[in-house]
Amino acid sequence: MLVLSLIPESKEQIMAIRSQYPDYYLEYRLDLCNDWDFIDQDTVDERVILTLRDRSECSKDVLQKKKVSLSDKIKYYCNWIKTYNCLVDLEQSLLYKLSAPELLKLNSNNLILSIHIYDCNWNVADLARRCLDIERSNCRYTKLALASESWIKLHGIETLIRTTGSEVLVAFMGNDGLSKRCFYRHLGAEGTYVSLKGKPTAVGQLDIELAEILRLRSITGMHLIGGIIGGMQVVHSRGLKYFNDLFTRNELKATYFPLIVNDLMDFTTWLSSGSRKTSCYGFSITMPYKEELADLAGKEGEVVNLWDGKKETANTDLKAMKQILKEGNIMKSDSKILILGSGSSAKNALQAIQGKAEIYICSRNFPAALALAKEFEVEYIIPENLKGKFYNVLINTTPLGMDNEDLLDFAIGVDFDTAIDLPYRDGGTPLGKFCAEKGKDYIGGEEFWKLQSKSQEEFFISAIRSKEI
């Protein structure tokens, strides 16, 4: 069950959304609306949740404009349930403020009782006690909206959900909330909440377009787990669509999620807990964890971007870089090559080229670049000295270009014949457009991504099929 939470703008908008996404439940956040004129028999039925947060239960950022008392809200709820047979959402803490007659007027089969905790310092035992109160009410659903900075706490939440007496909806809040919501089925929950693109009604929601790419409506708790581990950028990874489409075509019960991780040890500890131990098929690794994950896997000093969830790792980026340099026939012994960047991708480029050409490295991160220059015995050049210099090959391993930044605003005045540009974006990067205008050879990040993803594809499919036997 996926709930699309929205702030309705008009009846026409709602009807268009219902037509486009007929399999979703809809939540109308009435407390964020200017008026409720859209509420009628066409827009509200048993698959609609009407949520009206009164002032006694609002978080500090709620924009409610109507002064609705608790008793007023109960009257609205009772009338809407009677008229439309819809669902309504009530904060669990308000049960103690309601009289017995008011409670009896609320049909429990139409009721969602919510627990909102905006402080990450909650514990499962206290949460379980509050859920017990909800069980006694015989409501339709329990909603857990929890601020969470920890992945390991999901283990306790899973135990709670699987032992509680009512069906649970989960809504994790925080910068990694959308990743945690992806696991709602694996936690034993009935559903989670998504939003319209660019219009979240809470922190941590994933948008409905991403939910469709991830096939969240159709997954079960039996689907094998994998995805891309990294920072916030994983939400934009092309691998999300690529691998989920691949698994669908091959009828594989596996899913590839965007895994925003703030603490790698915390995340990997959760992965090794409970049933997660046997349900992972593998993970792509991106910044900032390519070297940290290698350390955890017992391969200190290496760079990895493929992990099986246990000890096996691989560096498909290095393999792809070697393949590009070889197939492009762009590197000769007398070539001068400039590597821009000082992270793990720069290290891969240095390893791929080592001893085969004259290498220079340049980066805004002077200490890191100097350490790489020393390790690989190459020359470091400061950005100010690039002007007027010529290199046969320029390799951009920085993120510059991903958000349409112009790399040449950093590497001002540098000249080159061929560019290898690792960032990629729809519409191309400014460096790619510059090369096209000037007739320079260009190898973009998409080509690089396709090469390394092919190796990951073979690894993932093999691992999935071995677990399905």
Q: What is the pLDDT of residue 72?
A: 84
pLDDT of 2 over the 50 cut: yes
pLDDT band at 70 (very low <50, low <70, confident <90, very high): confident
Tokens of 165: 């007496």
Tell me the average pLDDT of the chain. 90
The rounded Cα 270 to chain-centroid distance in angstroms is 17
Higher local confidence (pLDDT), 99 or 92: 92
pLDDT of 180 over the 60 cut: yes
Give residue 12's identity as a one-letter amino acid code.
E
Tokens of 188: 């034993």
User: Cα separation of 391 and 397, whole Å?
Assistant: 16
pLDDT in tens, 272-308: 887 777 889 999 999 889 989 988 888 888 889 999 9
Please confirm whether the linkage preceding 288 is cis (ω < 30° from 0). yes
pLDDT of 59 over the 50 cut: no
Q: What is the pLDDT of residue 56?
A: 57
Q: Calculate the dihedral angle through the C-alpha atoms of 227, 231, 232, 234, rounding to the nearest 10 degrees.
A: -30
State the pairing for strand pair 306-307/313-314.
antiparallel
Q: What is the pLDDT of residue 275?
A: 73
User: Cα separation of 427 and 112, whole Å?
Assistant: 44
Three-class SS of 266-277? HHHHHHCCCCHH
Task: Tell me what the mean pLDDT of segment 225-248 comes to.
Answer: 93
pLDDT band at 94 (very low <50, low <70, confident <90, very high): confident
Q: What is the pLDDT of residue 65?
A: 53
Q: Which of 37-41, 54-58, 178-182 has the lowest mean pLDDT?
A: 54-58
| Closest to 419 (Cα-Cα) out of 435, 430, 433, 438 | 435
Helix 366-376 with 344-353: angle, nearest 10 deg: 20
pLDDT of 67 over the 90 cut: no
Give residue 112's identity as a one-letter amino acid code.
I
pLDDT of 98 over the 90 cut: no
User: Cα separation of 402 and 108, whole Å?
Assistant: 50
Q: What is the pLDDT of residue 139?
A: 87
Q: Which domains does the chain have, with CATH numbers?
A: 2-221 (3.20.20.70), 225-314 (3.40.50.10860), 319-450 (3.40.50.720)
pLDDT of 328 over the 70 cut: no
Q: What is the pLDDT of residue 3?
A: 97
Q: What is the pLDDT of residue 35?
A: 84
Task: Tell me what the mean pLDDT of segment 413-426 comes to.
Answer: 91
pLDDT band at 63 (very low <50, low <70, confident <90, very high): very low
pLDDT in tens, 124-164: 999 998 888 888 778 899 999 999 889 999 999 999 999 88
Q: What is the pLDDT of residue 60?
A: 44
Task: Tell me what the mean pLDDT of segment 236-252 comes to.
Answer: 94
pLDDT band at 327 (very low <50, low <70, confident <90, very high): confident
Cα–Cα distances in Å, from 368 out to 180, 270, 356, 362, 371? Answer: 33, 31, 23, 10, 5
pLDDT band at 61 (very low <50, low <70, confident <90, very high): very low
| % of residues, the chain, pLDDT over 90 | 63
